[in-house]
A and B are shown apart, each in its own frame.
Chain A
Amino acid sequence: MTTAVLFDNVSRHFGAVRAVDRVDLEIAEGEFFAMLGPSGSGKTTCLRLMAGFEQPTGGHIEIFGETAEGVPPYRRSVNTVFQDYALFPHLSILENVAYGLMVKGVGREERRKAAEDALAMVKLPGYGGRRPGQLSGGQRQRVALARALVNKPKVLLLDEPLGALDLKLREQMQEELKSLQKSLGITFVFVTHDQGEALSMADRLAVFNEGRIQQLGTPEEVYTRPKTRFVADFVGSSNVLTAKLCRTLGLNASFASLRPEAVAIAPPMNGALSLSGTVASRSFLGATNRIVVEVEGARIAVASPATRGAPAIGSPVTLSFAAHDLHPMEDA
């Protein structure tokens, strides 16, 4: 398998601010890779390092085996879908999509055809004559995608492209992006702060915090076996069990993670671990009830199917879960 993007000990410092700090990363060709993290975690700076808008202050970047440092953005076969779409307001949709071909000297007729094909691919055929101001947010997003893809980039970078869309549209675009990526076979690098988006779309993902990668792996690995407290907290709000509770459960670790949906409010079956506490709060989330139980001064969230009902606040309950759902973590 070819490596599409390689980060070797890459840093990008702005004065005293370490936006990206000694990051190692390897993205395979044809992979859908997500970079997940809160704002200011360094994920967008990593994307900008790939696009060439930023240059690393340390380390080495390779894209398809070629050194990327010192190569200006306009000489990289990498295209970006910007968070605000960055469509040219003075050009028509067709001219926007054909822009990359135009500056590369592709003939008028050829680029018109390529742009129309790209618009058809993002399901906006016949929109070429309009202006960006006449389109909705979702349509502009598709145009931005077409404008990047028409150049047949080796890597497509997406900077929170779905952030400004409403929920329904976002879910629809997630599916479309995913299938588009599969059919084109282009490497997608996707930046998001939405863990659900990262988990559902990515082949692999990197969780960023404070300029560093906290964990790198498949969505399943990251979700079920968070390596650090930060990942446990950020990716799907796992319960973080302190050393004291770990000892109660006979586990020798300073921290352990426990998914809310892995816990049941029921007496333990054979071999299961159990804790008892009192219900502190409950809220109805549609398919599930989120019940927070206070156990030895700590709070453990339980995602319980709504059909089971929820115990009253203050009532004593027994929590049970399988031993393999309890994952020891590093303290970070």
Chain B
Amino acid sequence: MTIVAESFVLPERRGTAGRVSDFFWRHPHVLLAVLLGPPLIWLGIVYLGSLFALLLQSFFSIDEFSGLINYEFTLATYRQLLTDANLDIILRTVVMAALVTLASAVIAFPIAYFAARYARGKWKALFYLAVMLPLWSSYLVKVYAWKLILAKEGILTWFVDKLNLLWLLDAWLSLPIVGGNSLSISYTGTFIVFVYVWMPFMILPIQAALERVPATLIEASSDLGGTPAQTFRHVTFPLALPGIVAGSIFTFSLTLGDYIIPQIIGSSRLFIGQAVYAQQGTAGNIPLAAAFTVVPIVIMGAYLWMAKRMGAFDAL
């Protein structure tokens, strides 16, 4: 067999695969439709559809006496959502999510900066491994491991004791709100575990954003008289902001929706996720559960709108 063609047009490929290839080459839009169809159907019907159904549920109410859902449009459930006890849950969750996001960003930035600016070759591989490795193990196992770490007899208390800083830990735990009998049943514990569990979701987007900042921009700022602090403030940080916002969307929304960590580690007070879980499970109040679910959606929407207004996506 020879590869040298006798004529300009090569013979058609035989078989179905060849015909399919020819067809798609002639009709690229059909190929696009075939590739995008299934995910679009998934997103459109299964995902957005169920979200819509959920929203709809929140406008129904529950009959207090029979416990049956009353399928009539009403704002009663939202009125119920805005009672003091429920607002307490929302406020607690939002404050926690905001603090977790802030702490994650502060801790993640130097790590991401190192990875993007200095790590090369083997160090870069090690960075990815170190960041991703925690994601390979079960979420539940990690949370229970943290419960042991943070317990009164746990390794952290032991270590603090060895540093002769037990008085500091006790002083912290005796504070109102953030304190408790031990770290594992305080908000401080919940906070630590949230920050740990969501950290990779903050590091990776920031690292990706910093990676795209050309080194000459940093040099240009320095050349024009910008001190390292000024360069960070006026060049590095604004250009990394889309990454920080992307990361904070993850940490913020994941914290808003999580119902396992606060249940295992922390005080017995509810977070939004737990409230949804309790309302739709034990209490059987689907409308209120749905109304609770709308809260993070609204908050995230407002957050993204604000981020856009502040120019977080200008550098995209």
Q: Chain A residues in contact with chain B, CB under 8 A?
A: 51-53, 72-75, 78-80, 82-84, 86-90, 99-100, 102-104, 147-148, 151
B313 to A: closest C-beta gap in Å:
10
Q: Report if B224 contacts A (CB, 8 A).
A: yes
Q: Is the CB of B314 within 8 A of A90?
A: yes
A182 CA / B220 CA spacing, docked (Å): 25
Which of these, B214, B227, B234, B311, contacts A74 with CB under 8 Å? B227
Which of these, A72, A83, A99, contacts B221 with CB under 8 Å? A99
Q: Report if B18 contacts A (CB, 8 A).
A: no
B207 to A: closest C-beta gap in Å:
19
Q: Report if B225 contacts A (CB, 8 A).
A: yes
A76 to B: closest C-beta gap in Å:
8
B151 to A: closest C-beta gap in Å:
47
Interface centre among B220, B235, B311 (most CB of A within 10 A): B220
B236 to A: closest C-beta gap in Å:
11
Q: Can you add 14 more A-B contacts, CB < 8 Å, to A88-B221, A90-B311, A103-B221?
A: A51-B223, A73-B222, A74-B224, A74-B226, A74-B227, A79-B224, A80-B223, A82-B220, A84-B216, A86-B219, A86-B220, A88-B217, A100-B225, A148-B223
A14 to B: closest C-beta gap in Å:
14
- CB within 8 Å of A: which B233-276 residues: 234-235, 238-239
A148 CA / B221 CA spacing, docked (Å): 11
Q: Which residues of B contact A53 (CB under 8 A)?
A: 219, 222-223
Chain B contact residues: helix, strand, loop or mixed: helix
> What string of 1s and 0s marks CB contacts (under 8 Å) between B286-316 and chain A?
0000000000000000000000000100110
The 8 residue pairs across chains A and B that have the minimum distance between CB atoms: A100-B224, A86-B220, A86-B216, A103-B226, A73-B222, A90-B315, A80-B223, A103-B230
A141 to B: closest C-beta gap in Å:
14
Q: Which residues of B contact A100 (CB under 8 A)?
A: 224-225
Q: Is the CB of A74 within 8 A of B239?
A: no
Q: Is the CB of A74 within 8 A of B315?
A: no
Q: Which residues of A contact B225 (CB under 8 A)?
A: 74-75, 100, 103-104, 151
A82 CA / B223 CA spacing, docked (Å): 10
Could you pull out 24 A-B pairs where Cβ atoms are within 8 angstroms? A53-B222, A72-B222, A73-B222, A73-B223, A74-B223, A78-B223, A79-B223, A80-B220, A82-B216, A82-B220, A84-B216, A87-B220, A88-B217, A88-B220, A90-B239, A99-B221, A100-B224, A103-B225, A103-B227, A104-B225, A148-B223, A148-B224, A151-B224, A151-B225
A107 to B: closest C-beta gap in Å:
16
Q: Which residues of B contact A103 (CB under 8 A)?
A: 221, 224-227, 230, 234
Q: Which residues of B contact A80 (CB under 8 A)?
A: 219-220, 223
Write the chain A residue with the least CB distance to B241.
A90
B241 to A: closest C-beta gap in Å:
8
Q: Is the CB of A86 within 8 A of B226?
A: no
